[in-house]
Amino acid sequence: MTVTAGREVRSTPLAFHLSPALKTAITLTALTLLGLLVGLLGEYVLRHDVIGTLGFALAYLTGGIPAGREALHSLSEERKLDVDLLMVLAALGALSIGQAADGAVLLFLFSLSNTLQDWAMGRTKSAIQALMNLNPEGATVRRGDVEKWCELSDVRVGDLLIVKPGERIAADARVTNGRTSVDESPITGESRPVDKEVGSTLASGTVNLGGSVEATVLRPAGQSTLARIVALMETAQSQKSRTETLSERLESPYATLVLLCVPLVFVLLRYGFGLSVDDSWYRAMTFMVVASPCAVVISTPAVMLSAMAAAARGGVLFKSSAALDALAGVQTVAFDKTGTLTNAKMTLTDFEADDGRVLFEVAASLEAHSEHPIAAAIVEAARARGVRPVAVSNARAVPGHGIEATLPSGALAWAGNERLATRQAAILALAQRRALSALEARGSSTVTVGIEDRVLGVLGVADTLRPDVARSLAALRESGVRHRVMLTGDKEVIAKSVAAEVGLGEYHAELLPEDKLRLIGELPAPVAMVGDGVNDAPALARADLGIAVASGTDVAIESADVVLMQSDLGKLAGAVKLAKDARRTVALNLTFAFGVILIVAPLAVTGHVPLPLGVVAHEGGTVFVVFMGLRLLRSRL
């Protein structure tokens, strides 16, 4: 908690707390256990019928009423039978044949199992739900000469945020004054603080660690980075994988089938095998317990929510568990180039000159008069080397060639392509010509710089690769993705150079958006498309799985099924491994859950499994599959 302008700004830490519903569930489970122990004490130790009856009555009320309420709700509101009804009927069935203790044991273990499920599922959901609590209640803003504290809903675009050390940033903003470091881990998963200076962007929900800064609000609270993430996660929780959907659809028909089988089992045992009414009914009730699909129903959501929470913590957001499941089966990953494999920013890559300082001084002096990205890259490279532009006069663009200007000495300086050098009757030295050829072969844009008829040197500018992109793509191959291909609208020579540098054996260049769509349909399926721009949106939507980098456009992010919040392709291989682990865990859980039913149910009918043991097998299996899913929370991308 921090204090800003006399007001407390509360932010919830990323920790799991007991919800009121979970506290109630724990209390009822404890009371059910108490009733069971009192009943057993009264009936079997004290031999006191009243104490035993009161204890079992407490167990039946506290353990049975919540399950009965859920069963009636499903029956009346959703018109379906579920496992809660099966458990309540089994407990009443045990009571009907004088086995009140067995029924109380059943209700206690069922209540304990549900409570453990709620706790475990709460652990998985908390990593996602915590995102919704990252925004402070408000912020200190300056409007004109007035500085005041505003509710979050009152913060407007253009307001000047005053962010002090330790405060959580209330809105997406751009730093206009000051320097600091920011903890972005709640949003991007980046573990190290990120330095911010004038011009840097701040994301809502992140924490200012260093000095005080002033920042101009870029988006209203409802459209901020944090709001967008929350919207994505709300969507993710509402959309389910095919296995999850199938399990939910089969729950009611399966429960109905079990209820229909119970009287058939009773009739078969009573009249087919000649067992007593009590024994036949007891076995039928045990069959109903062990045949209930609790573990089957919870197997998939427990795994998917845990995996999605672990991925979100690592900076990969899945919009649905269906997307997580789809990633596990992807055979081909197609990458856009600009902004995905590269930084989408022109940067000086190399130069050739006898005197580098003179080269950068003249080049920066000329390019400072241009707004072209290549010019900006050269000016930035000069600034990084401590070279400042000199004042020039009569700066003018030479269409199709470059730029010219007059130096303070009166000499004509120029910067542009090789045609401009020819126009100035300037001849490149052998080393300069070789450097020019090498740069062009790599797909770099080249700038030749000179004074009058003398060439000072050659500069190479290109859109540089993201850090460790080659290693990231190699890790993706090791994770089991067979085909990796680059799709780009850039020129063939540039595409070939980038593909070779990052280790991609297949690429397609000079593509229009419709070409990307066509190729997505021709690549070995299932296909995942990774992109960042508006022109990638159709391909992201067309692919079996769309993956967007967070530094991309809103359109691309909205079209995608998965978002890499750090724009780090290295996270993709980890996400693939996590998705495959989740799919294996679902398969294991379902196999185990059905295995328990197929093995224990016949034993219950033949009398080899008493009701308490059947309850332990059933509820133990349910807890087992939940905790198998919960272990995925430890996963790191």
Helix axes 570-605, 321-328, angle to 10 degrees: 100
* Torsion angle (degrees, nearest 10) of CA 276, 281, 287, 290: -120
Among residues 102, 118, 336, 532, which one is catalytic?
336
- For residue 84, indicate whether it is catalytic: no
Look up tokens 């009161």; give the residue. 54
The dihedral sign for the CA sequence 615, 620, 625, 626: positive
Q: Is 106 within 8 Å of 292 (Cβ atoms)?
A: no
Query: What tokens were used for 59?
Result: 């167990």
Q: What number of other Cβ atoms are within 10 A of residue 12's Cβ?
A: 12
Q: Is 466 within 8 Å of 341 (Cβ atoms)?
A: yes
Q: How far apart are CA 344 and CA 633, in angstroms?
A: 34
Q: How far apart are CA 584 and CA 613, in angstroms?
A: 29
Task: Kindly report the backbone phi and psi dihedral angles of residue 463, in degrees, each rounded to the nearest multiple of 5, phi listed first.
Answer: -80, 110
Helices (H) and strands (E) in the chain, counts: 21, 24
Helix (H, G, I), strand (E, B) or coil at 281: helix
Helix (H, G, I), strand (E, B) or coil at 276: coil
Burial of 75 (0-12, 13-18, 19+ CB in 10 A): middle
* Segment holding 181, helix H or strand E: strand 180-183
Report the largest interatomic distance among the alpha carbons of the chain, rounded to a whole angstrom: 118
Q: How far apart are CA 121 and CA 124, in angstroms?
A: 5
Query: What tokens were used for 375?
Result: 């010019």
Q: How far apart are CA 42 and CA 556, in angstroms?
A: 67
Cα 276 to Cα 102, 260, 555, 570, 614: the distances in Å are: 19, 21, 70, 66, 20
Q: Is 93 within 8 Å of 64 (Cβ atoms)?
A: no
Cα 488 to Cα 512, 519, 539: the distances in Å are: 8, 11, 12
Q: What number of other Cβ atoms are within 10 A of residue 259's Cβ?
A: 15
Q: What number of other Cβ atoms are within 10 A of residue 398's Cβ?
A: 15
**Cβ neighbours of residue 101 under 8 Å, at least 6 residues apart?**
36, 39, 40, 43, 44, 56
Burial of 371 (0-12, 13-18, 19+ CB in 10 A): exposed
Q: Is 153 within 8 Å of 167 (Cβ atoms)?
A: no
User: Which amino acids are annotated catalytic?
Assistant: 336
